[in-house]
Every structure is written in structure tokens, then in C-alpha cells.
């Protein structure tokens, strides 16, 4: 279970968040390079978006097929593909592409809005309700469409609970603790104030290097947290801080020396209105390169966080 903390201003807590790991494609080293050609996919998708704007849909579709072949996890390619098929009124392919885009980038308002429309036009009311709720949580005014759908199909039994889910913005990783330790002149424990073995170099230089080498896998940690929040039925994932009720920060305190690389840190939840840090829990990951281990441990933590928010908001 998590625990309440003392009040911490959100501006201070977020100051260092997002300073590292923004451009993974430029990072080199073991475990850092993306496994697919994201740069090529981005270029092709941008070109396809221009063609869509010009109404040249057949040419755009060819580029989008190439973009997805280059990187099967590039969400913008599926988003543009969904837009394209929606313009063709091929709602089956539009729905499938947009649902995939929403899985890869949960909380993107227009993706969920278009996925709702495609599903609704197909009579797929289960997905229509789900995507309408996600679009609403992401900031789209869906009230008119909720009323229209009531005449077609019953909403999910937990509709009221889902539509009132707290909106959470997952911030970038905070490596401030690792960076701070790297500035120590000796191998000193900053918690106890003791002096360790003088090595002639900062104590955590190796730790900073390992963070850089594992930038791609560290970003996977953040993405897995975002995905777990989006999958939690009574939490809402948003991409804008302005829409958030809470901000979920991920701090990295230490990276293991061996292979596989372990990570120790914390999840901290901040109230976006008051700036208070209201919840924290340790985050200990045995292998940040393993999708299965990441998913299992982080999903467990987010389920606990969801339960805490449900109890808090009763």
C-alpha cells in the first residue's frame, strides 16, 4: 500500500522531471536504441498526413503501410490511417486503426473521439461507449453523444464511476537523485553524512552512465506506467497537465550494476490543484528490459493506486 507524505509544492517536485530521456532516437549504447526504425516511420507518416490534407488518399495509404512496416508501434501512423479510412467511410478499418493508436498513445483526445465515431457507425456500442468515456476524460465534450447513445444501447454498468475517474498525467522520469549523487566529490553517503572510500571521482558517475546507456529501457518504464494507468478502469490517462487532477511522478534513485538492470525508485502522486504530494510507494523493478516483469510489477502498483484513489474520493 502507498502512504501519505508531507506537503511538497508541485512546481518543486516537477522541476527536474522530463530533463532526460526525451529524444531516445539520438541515444546510443547497450539497450538504448529503439528496436524499430521510428525515424523512418515518422517521416513517412508526416508525408502521408500532407497527402491526406491534399485529398490524395491512395498515395497516403501506401506511405502509411510503409510507416507501419518500419515501426509497428508508431501510434501516429495508425492515427493517420484511421483518419484516412474514416474519410473513405470505411469505418471497420478506421475503428481498428484508431483503437490501436489509442492503445499506443492512451489519452490522445482526438484519437478516442474518432475511434468512438467509427465504432458507433458500425454499431459496435461496447467500443463506442469505451472510447466515448476515454474521449470525455481526455477533454472532449461528449455529452451530446452520450445522450444519443442512450437511445441505442445501455451504457456500461460502471459508467458513472468511469466517467468520474480521476485524471492522471504521468510525468517523465526524474533522475534528480542520480544526478545529485554524481556531483559528490567522494563516495559519501548523503543520507548519513558518512565518508566512504575516496575514489577520486564522483560516486555515481557510473550510475549516470548506466542511465544514459539504458535510456530506452527507462523510457519503457514510463510508458508502462502510462499504459497501466490507461488500462485501469477507474483512472483516466491524460496527456495535458492542464486537464489533470493528479500528476504521477516516477523517480529513479538507483540502477543495478549487473545484467539484467534493476531499478529502485518511487511513484509519487501530486494533487494538481494544491501541489501536495499525497501518495508515494516504492518502485523496485528487477529487470527494466523485460516487458513481462515490468508489466506485472507496475500493473500491481497501479491497481493499488487506483484502490487508494477510490477510497480517498468516496
CB 35 within 8 A of CB 24: no
Smallest Cα–Cα separation from 17: which of 243, 216, 171, 168?
A: 171
30-34, 116-120, 244-248: least confident range: 30-34
Smallest Cα–Cα separation from 288: which of 189, 231, 215, 199?
A: 215
State the number of CA atoms in the 13 A half-sphere of 132 facing the CB.
24
**Mean per-residue pLDDT of the chain:** 82
Question: At 44, is the pLDDT very low, low, confident or very high (cuts 50, 70, 90)?
Answer: very high
Q: Is the dihedral of CA 145, 146, 147, 149 positive or negative?
A: positive
| Greater pLDDT, 137 or 190 | 137
CATH 3.40.50 placement within the chain: 10-17+166-312
Q: What pTM, to 2 d.p., does this model score?
A: 0.78
Residue 173 main-chain phi, psi, to 5 deg: -65, 145
Distances (CA, A) of 300 to 168, 294, 304: 17, 10, 6
pLDDT at 12 over 80: no
Q: Measured between alpha carbons, how far is 305 from 52 in angstroms, rounded to an integer? A: 41
pLDDT at 16 over 70: no
Question: At 261, is the pLDDT very low, low, confident or very high (cuts 50, 70, 90)?
Answer: confident
Question: At 35, is the pLDDT very low, low, confident or very high (cuts 50, 70, 90)?
Answer: low
pLDDT at 96 over 80: yes
Give the mean pLDDT of 14-19.
Answer: 37
pLDDT at 137: 94
Indicate the burial class of 286 (C-beta count within 10 angstroms; 0-12, 13-18, 19 or more).
middle
Indicate the burial class of 281 (C-beta count within 10 angstroms; 0-12, 13-18, 19 or more).
middle
pLDDT at 191: 38
11-15, 24-28, 235-239: least confident range: 24-28
pLDDT at 10 over 90: no
pLDDT at 9 over 50: no
Residues 6+ apart with CB under 8 A from 92: 118, 122
pLDDT at 211: 72
pLDDT at 212: 80
pLDDT in tens, 67-94: 999 999 999 999 999 999 999 999 999 9
CB 279 within 8 A of CB 4: yes
Q: Which CATH architecture has domain 10-17+166-312?
A: 3-Layer(aba) Sandwich (3.40)
pLDDT at 304 over 90: yes
CATH 1.25.40.10 placement within the chain: 35-163
Q: Measured between alpha carbons, how far is 116 from 126 in angstroms, rounded to an integer? A: 10
CB 137 within 8 A of CB 113: no
> H-helix or E-strand containing 251?
strand 246-255
Smallest Cα–Cα separation from 305: which of 239, 226, 215, 242?
A: 226
The CATH code of domain 35-163 reads: 1.25.40.10
Indicate the burial class of 176 (C-beta count within 10 angstroms; 0-12, 13-18, 19 or more).
middle
**For residues 62-88, b (16+ Cβ closer than 10 Å) or e, as one string?**
ebbebbbebbebbbbbbbbbbbbbbee
pLDDT at 122 over 80: yes
Amino acid at each position: 500500500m502507498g502512504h501519505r507524505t508531507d506537503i511538497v509544492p508541485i512546481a518543486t517536485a516537477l522541476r527536474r522531471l522530463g530533463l532526460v530521456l526525451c529524444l531516445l532516437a539520438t541515444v546510443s549504447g547497450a539497450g538504448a536504441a529503439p528496436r524499430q526504425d521510428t525515424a523512418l516511420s515518422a517521416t513517412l507518416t508526416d508525408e502521408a498526413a500532407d497527402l491526406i490534407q491534399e485529398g490524395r488518399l491512395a498515395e497516403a495509404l501506401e506511405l502509411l503501410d510503409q510507416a507501419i512496416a518500419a515501426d509497428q508501434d508508431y501510434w501516429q501512423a495508425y492515427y493517420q490511417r484511421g483518419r484516412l479510412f474514416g474519410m473513405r467511410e470505411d469505418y471497420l478499418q478506421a475503428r481498428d486503426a484508431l483503437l490501436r493508436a489509442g492503445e499506443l498513445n492512451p489519452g490522445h483526445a482526438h484519437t478516442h473521439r474518432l475511434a468512438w465515431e467509427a465504432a458507433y457507425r458500425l454499431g459496435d456500442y461496447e467500443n463506442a461507449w469505451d472510447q466515448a468515456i476515454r474521449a470525455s476524460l481526455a477533454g472532449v465534450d461528449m455529452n451530446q453523444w452520450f445522450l444519443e447513445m442512450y437511445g441505442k444501447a445501455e451504457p456500461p454498468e460502471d459508467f458513472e464511476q468511469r466517467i468520474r475517474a480521476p485524471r492522471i498525467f504521468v510525468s517523465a522520469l526524474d533522475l534528480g537523485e542520480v544526478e545529485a549523487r554524481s556531483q559528490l566529490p567522494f563516495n559519501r553517503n548523503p543520507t548519513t553524512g558518512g565518508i566512504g572510500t575516496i575514489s577520486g571521482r564522483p560516486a555515481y558517475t557510473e550510475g549516470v552512465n548506466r542511465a544514459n546507456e539504458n535510456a530506452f529501457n527507462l523510457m519503457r518504464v514510463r510508458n508502462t506506467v502510462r499504459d497501466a494507468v490507461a488500462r485501469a478502469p477507474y483512472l483516466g490517462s491524460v496527456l495535458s497537465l492542464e486537464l489533470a487532477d493528479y500528476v504521477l511522478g516516477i523517480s529513479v534513485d538507483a540502477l543495478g550494476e549487473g545484467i539484467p538492470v534493476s531499478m529502485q525508485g518511487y511513484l509519487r502522486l501530486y494533487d494538481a490543484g494544491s501541489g501536495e504530494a499525497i501518495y508515494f510507494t516504492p518502485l523496485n523493478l528487477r529487470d527494466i528490459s523485460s516487458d513481462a516483469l515490468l508489466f506485472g510489477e507496475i500493473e500491481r502498483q497501479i491497481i493499488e493506486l487506483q484502490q487508494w484513489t477510490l477510497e480517498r474520493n468516496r
